[in-house]
Amino acid sequence: MKVKRKGLSLAVGFLVIVVLAGYIYVVSGAKRVEAMMWGHLADRGYQQEEIKSVEVYHSFLSPLFSRSRWAIRVRYDDEPGVIYHYTVKDDRIKDDGISGSADKEKLKHKE
């Protein structure tokens, strides 16, 4: 009985460590990616007031579908109906398309 309990305790302890490590990886990585995105926007000449929001998402499964682990969505104040998508490739921010309601010919922030 004690052997089963010890094995269960070890398994639960290992699972807690794995989940905690994954959480720390995602939280610290999201902060790093968001800082990279703000740096990218600053390099392109944008002020923080011109940006409505920057949202960073992570997926452990994305590499299985040949996608980046990190997805970034940016909304600009002057185009609130358009979401610009970016990703991280080779430790650089890359354009990954747009979504929303806008005329593709009149996009103001397309790279």
User: Residue 19: how many CB atoms within 10 A of its CB?
Assistant: 10
Round to whole Å and give the CA distance between 71 and 56: 6
The one-character DSSP state at 58 is E
**How high is the mean pLDDT of the chain?**
88
pLDDT per position as a tens digit, 48-60: 999 999 999 999 8
Residue 21, pLDDT above cutoff 70: yes
Q: What is the pLDDT of residues 40-91, one digit of tens each?
A: 999 999 999 999 999 999 998 887 887 888 999 999 998 888 999 999 998 8
By the 10 Å C-beta count (0-12 exposed, 13-18 middle, 19+ buried), 82 is classed as buried
Looking at residue 108, what is its pLDDT?
Answer: 78
pLDDT at position 14: 93
Q: pLDDT band at residue 32, thresholds of 50, 70 and 90? A: very high
Please indicate, yes or no, whether the overall pTM of this predicted structure exceeds 0.85.
no
